[in-house]
Chains A and B, each alone.
Chain A
Amino acid sequence: MLFNSFQYWIFFLIVLALFYSVPFRVGKVLLLCASYVFYMWWDPRFIVLILTSTIVDYWLGILLESASGRRKKLLLVVSLVVNLGILGFFKYYNFFAGSLATLLHLPQSSVILQIILPVGISFYTFASLSYTIDVYWGKMKAVRNFIDYAFFIAFFPHLIAGPIIRGRQFISQIQNWRRPATVVVQSGIVLILSGLLKKIVFADRFAIVSDKYFGDLGGHPGWLSAWSGCVAFALQVFFDFSGYTDIARGCAKLLGFEFPLNFARPALSRNPPDLWQRWHITLSLWLRDYLFMPLSRRRRGRFALYRNLILVMVLVGLWHGANWTFVLWGAYHGVLLLSHRVFDRATAGTLLSEVMRKRLFVPFSVALMFLCYAVSVAFFRASTLQDSAFILRGMFGFHHVTGNFLFTTGTVVLFFISLFLAVAQERNQFIDRLALAPARVQIPAYVCVFLTLELFPVTDQVPFVYFQF
């Protein structure tokens, strides 16, 4: 049941109607059941995993709250082992076993298992882990109501592809639920429409360009083809994931819940740290709070900092998928962050630094950062390291041919439209303000959106990119 399917919207409208027709304590149970149905739609077997994770962390949370000293640590370790064990087995077993087999010159078939990756496992595992770690650190109290906890883990809008929510933000919303204000409902509708536009008009159309390139790399040599393909995928993945998040947040708002912001115009990032403040914000913050900060507290010093930076980014890559291409993708971003930090330190107080801070220079920084991001696509989208190498060689002119400009007129127009929408949103929250706009603005905006959704969608249903993570 994809967010861009008719099925989902029938499901959502039924759930919405039922939810508001019963008291919240009943509605909560109903939403939980609906969430499990939503999850089982893909594969009913994997409900066992989500239930295991939920039950274990619920009890561990209660035990952690009252425990102290070594026992407390042990309980946390149990939580980590259970959650990361499930994640590791289903997502990474074949990757590590396969890599080890290659290293030891063993046949792959002797170690590889037929494992299906449960959808959304990376997202709900991180949500669950954030809860036990927060309880361990004493940042929140353990939840005593199992339904509340299960609801936090399984609430369907975030279950499959985030945003990664945290117990301390979300459980209080369950406990103090109120009917959403009119402006919140309005904002939810705007988010849903914006998400649908991003997904089925923008992302899926850029996907046509990127699929053309990545689907036949050998048939598209040359720097122009490589850059077209990679830029198209960079735009696709942003609109795809950001569109999903908008729909998730919009649906949550209509049901009276708030999800954190996950994207803030990442294409307008000026430098690598800025990118990670704008791109998949909930994952960046999760890793900062639960991995980078604890690591940094253990050992200080510049070298340790750089090492931690690279380590965290490699893990970010690995979180995205069990493949060496993702590891390199993470490492590449780690190197970008590190280089930026070194460069920043080296040029601090110099004329260059002053010039770079000028507003006139900002577009150049943004362009450079976008191109750096487009390069990372060579790792992110390619299936093998050989493919990545081919793309990179193409991008940097080693194919010795020009290649083809793969963008069509329509996708170029879309690119400019998306740019202007991003600029308008960045400057004065143009899209958010639509929720507050008077009818004379809102109605034409709705008409434009409906017409765009009617006339310009990509009719073949394309799955969300982040479902595979």
Chain B
Amino acid sequence: MTDNFSTNRPFLCGEASIETSPRSKILYGLLLLAICVGACFAPPSAKGEIAQPSGTANATDHVKRAPSINATPERVTVGVEPGRSEIRWDTGDGSVGFVYVSTNGEKRTLFATGPTGRATAPWIKRASYLFELYRDVEQRTLLAAVTISGVSALKVSPKASLKVSPLTTLWQNNAQWLLAAVALVVLYFAVYFSTPGEMRTGFPAEPSTSPRQLHVVRNLLLGLVVFACVDGAIFHTELYTSILAPDSFAGRMAILTRAEKERVSSGLKEVLVVGDSRVAEGFSATAADKLGSEGGFKFVSLAEPASSIDIWYYMLREIDPTARRYSAIVIPYGYGYNRRRGQLLKIPMAAPLLRYSDCFDFTSSFEEWSDRFRAFTACILRGSALQSDVIDLFEHPAVRAESIRSEHKRILARAAYKGRADDIAGTSYDPNTGQITFPSRLTETQREAIKGSLQEPSQSESEQLIALQRQWIRRILKRYSNSPTAIVLVPTPRGPFGRFSRTSMAYQTFFSGMTMDKPILSLPEHTFDFLEAPEYYFDGYHVNAKGRQKFTETVVAELVKQLKPANSAHFASDPEQF
């Protein structure tokens, strides 16, 4: 429920492997074709070292990405003249980033700034250049990095040289001037053919008579029907979903669910953990597997930043159509996320999972009518929820192709993720005065997150949040009512200063009086109280590597204990009973 924008965000927990399907290959081919067309219209880059912040920042604000920095090409052939490479970066959240470059590990120098952009480095020599994207000018928070290797033309292997596409070579050889000339010629002939020669003295009005019978309503309705069908064929199938930006919320959700659907069962007792960024940072499936292996458990984490319980429901529906795949499903509950922001992200995030029949249920999760309208439209016309992604694809087809190609790297990175090493130890909070003292090493982002986490939700916010969780827990339980899968509710740690919070994480606070279609299991309210200390957190919401280990150990220990066959009989509709 809290969105997390940390650098090394876990991408896909578990050891799932993804194979490229034949359909994906065809799509990939189509994408490459689009790249060729797109490349023909790519704007010429600025000359020299002038950084060029991209103009798409506003247009693609709604696609939340992981911070990235890419170089094209990463391996630059250097002859007599220096080579060149284009650096593209994106901080992912619209904040200003600082790109530094160091040559052969020497001192870093500022290369460019901006939330997103590209800049050409036309001075690549035979050396190694490390380009690093930092959140701050003090170079404290590294967001992403890329290395460019300048290699001698003589040393480039024939195989390596084959990797550089002719288009790239053409582009690097100042093809932008050729492109500009072609554009001018096109412009010339377009205007030439538009004119009959003589100056116009008048302009004809629209037609007022027709030689044939017109069918206004019929054609309009048919147009709408065909449009809805085209939208369905493109966006309600795998056709577009398979080329969603892997860094976007929608793309990550699509990849996660696809990978989990395609994963072959381990034959062990599989436990699925869903959740938002707090669980994504807090729970390690790899560590859990080691801890739970003796009990025959296999853990899978599909926790995803900024997701919420309604999205988990749709995710479960997608990956577990028979509702019998998992031994247990761990669902966190609690407070603490930017509600408005969550609402805005929810639609594109849920888009790859939505069906036509969800138009009323999904809409009911929103309070404002404008959001409800957007949610409804997203179910019927899924493309409307993926506007930013489509625009991004058209604007940067090559980048998209590259990021889809490197999808497996992200999956591996997600599985290998060990959590953030830094902590906020030394931060103190006085609940009486409300004063917070930060150690000097904390960044502004960390400080803001800590301040944000200390703000108690308002009465109405709490009520809405509880209502949402009750509504969707009920739906999840209904779905699993006839299934052997155990549903485990886990209270999420409230933050580094959770002990001062007035909010109760008691099961009753959230689910008292609720009719359950299935017995559930809930971990005790105070299970994670020991984690609510600054040394276990790297900001106001998310645990660090140390906290991650502790959280995982506790969850696994509790689950192993509770999921023993002997204990299963104790499942009750009111967990406080046992």
Q: Which residues of A contact B (CB under 8 A)?
A: 6, 181-187, 189, 191, 205, 208-209, 212, 224, 253, 261, 264-265, 268, 270, 274, 277-278, 357-360, 362-363, 366-367, 401-413, 416, 419-420, 422-423, 426-427, 429, 432-433, 435-436, 438-439, 442-447, 450-451, 454-460
Contacts A212-B55, A408-B395, A443-B223 given; indicate if A183 touches B203 (C-beta within 8 A). no
Interface SS majority for chain A: helix
- Report whether A264 and B46 are in contact in the complex, using a CB–CB cutoff of 8 Å: no
Cα–Cα, bound, A221→B214 (Å): 54
Question: B58 to chain A: which residues have CB within 8 Å?
Answer: 208, 212, 460
Contacts A208-B58, A422-B194, A459-B62 given; indicate if A405 touches B44 (C-beta within 8 A). yes
Question: B373 to chain A: which residues have CB within 8 Å?
Answer: 6
Cα–Cα, bound, A432→B88 (Å): 43
- Report whether B216 and A363 are in contact in the complex, using a CB–CB cutoff of 8 Å: no
Contacts A189-B216, A409-B395 given; indicate if A182 touches B43 (C-beta within 8 A). no
Residue of B42, B54, B193, B384 near A423 (CB, 8 A) is: B193
Question: A443 to chain B: which residues have CB within 8 Å?
Answer: 219, 222-223, 226
- Report whether A409 and B59 are in contact in the complex, using a CB–CB cutoff of 8 Å: no
Cα–Cα, bound, A366→B373 (Å): 44
- Report whether A359 and B192 are in contact in the complex, using a CB–CB cutoff of 8 Å: yes
Residue of A205, A367, A409, A426 near B41 (CB, 8 A) is: A409
Is there a chain A Cβ closer than 8 Å to B567's Cβ? Answer: no
Cα–Cα, bound, A184→B208 (Å): 6
- Report whether B47 and A402 are in contact in the complex, using a CB–CB cutoff of 8 Å: yes
B209 to chain A, nearest CB (A): 6
Contacts A410-B395, A436-B211 given; indicate if A450 touches B224 (C-beta within 8 A). yes
Residue of B193, B219, B227, B390 near A442 (CB, 8 A) is: B219
Q: Which residues of B contact A (CB under 8 A)?
A: 38, 41-48, 50, 52-56, 58-59, 62, 183, 186-197, 199-200, 203-216, 218-220, 222-224, 226-227, 230-231, 373, 381, 383-384, 386-387, 390-391, 394-396
Could you jot down 19 A-B contacts, CB within 8 Å?
A183-B207, A191-B206, A205-B59, A212-B55, A359-B192, A359-B195, A360-B192, A362-B195, A402-B50, A404-B52, A408-B56, A409-B396, A413-B41, A432-B207, A446-B226, A450-B227, A454-B231, A454-B384, A456-B390
- Report whether B226 and A447 are in contact in the complex, using a CB–CB cutoff of 8 Å: yes
Contacts A189-B220, A436-B210, A438-B212 given; indicate if A408 touches B197 (C-beta within 8 A). no
Cα–Cα, bound, A187→B220 (Å): 12
Closest to B117 in A: A404
Total cross-chain contacts (CB, 8 A): 188
- Report whether A447 and B215 are in contact in the complex, using a CB–CB cutoff of 8 Å: no
- Report whether A404 and B46 are in contact in the complex, using a CB–CB cutoff of 8 Å: yes
Most buried by B among A401, A446, A454: A454
Closest to B382 in A: A454
- Report whether B208 and A409 are in contact in the complex, using a CB–CB cutoff of 8 Å: no
Cα–Cα, bound, A457→B384 (Å): 9
Question: B196 to chain A: which residues have CB within 8 Å?
Answer: 359
Cα–Cα, bound, A438→B218 (Å): 12
- Report whether A447 and B44 are in contact in the complex, using a CB–CB cutoff of 8 Å: no
Cα–Cα, bound, A19→B231 (Å): 34
Cα–Cα, bound, A443→B194 (Å): 26
B244 to chain A, nearest CB (A): 14
Residue of B44, B56, B194, B226 near A410 (CB, 8 A) is: B56
B363 to chain A, nearest CB (A): 15
Cα–Cα, bound, A118→B210 (Å): 41
- Report whether A405 and B190 are in contact in the complex, using a CB–CB cutoff of 8 Å: no
Question: A450 to chain B: which residues have CB within 8 Å?
Answer: 223-224, 227
Cα–Cα, bound, A354→B317 (Å): 74
Question: A187 to chain B: which residues have CB within 8 Å?
Answer: 206-208
Residue of B206, B211, B222, B390 near A435 (CB, 8 A) is: B206
Question: A270 to chain B: which residues have CB within 8 Å?
Answer: 199
B55 to chain A, nearest CB (A): 4
- Report whether B394 and A410 are in contact in the complex, using a CB–CB cutoff of 8 Å: yes
- Report whether B187 and A362 are in contact in the complex, using a CB–CB cutoff of 8 Å: no
- Report whether B394 and A413 are in contact in the complex, using a CB–CB cutoff of 8 Å: yes
- Report whether A402 and B46 are in contact in the complex, using a CB–CB cutoff of 8 Å: yes
Cα–Cα, bound, A454→B378 (Å): 10
Cα–Cα, bound, A423→B42 (Å): 23
- Report whether A367 and B187 are in contact in the complex, using a CB–CB cutoff of 8 Å: yes
Cα–Cα, bound, A181→B213 (Å): 11
- Report whether B50 and A404 are in contact in the complex, using a CB–CB cutoff of 8 Å: yes
Question: B53 to chain A: which residues have CB within 8 Å?
Answer: 404
- Report whether A432 and B222 are in contact in the complex, using a CB–CB cutoff of 8 Å: no
B470 to chain A, nearest CB (A): 31
Cα–Cα, bound, A278→B212 (Å): 31
Question: A367 to chain B: which residues have CB within 8 Å?
Answer: 187, 191
Contacts A443-B226, A447-B227 given; indicate if A366 touches B52 (C-beta within 8 A). no
A455 to chain B, nearest CB (A): 5
Question: B189 to chain A: which residues have CB within 8 Å?
Answer: 363
Which 8 pairs show the lowest CB-CB distances between chains A and B?
Answer: A446-B223, A363-B191, A423-B194, A450-B227, A183-B210, A359-B197, A264-B203, A408-B55
Cα–Cα, bound, A460→B58 (Å): 10
Contacts A205-B59, A411-B55 given; indicate if A362 touches B197 (C-beta within 8 A). yes
Known contacts A359-B197, A408-B56; 6 additional CB pairs below 8 A are: A359-B192, A408-B59, A427-B193, A454-B383, A456-B390, A460-B58
Closest to A270 in B: B199
Cα–Cα, bound, A134→B58 (Å): 49
Residue of A186, A261, A413, A429 near B214 (CB, 8 A) is: A186
Residue of A185, A360, A439, A451 near B230 (CB, 8 A) is: A451
Residue of B206, B223, B390 near A447 (CB, 8 A) is: B223
Closest to A263 in B: B203
- Report whether B387 and A455 are in contact in the complex, using a CB–CB cutoff of 8 Å: yes
A223 to chain B, nearest CB (A): 12
- Report whether B381 and A454 are in contact in the complex, using a CB–CB cutoff of 8 Å: yes
Cα–Cα, bound, A392→B59 (Å): 28
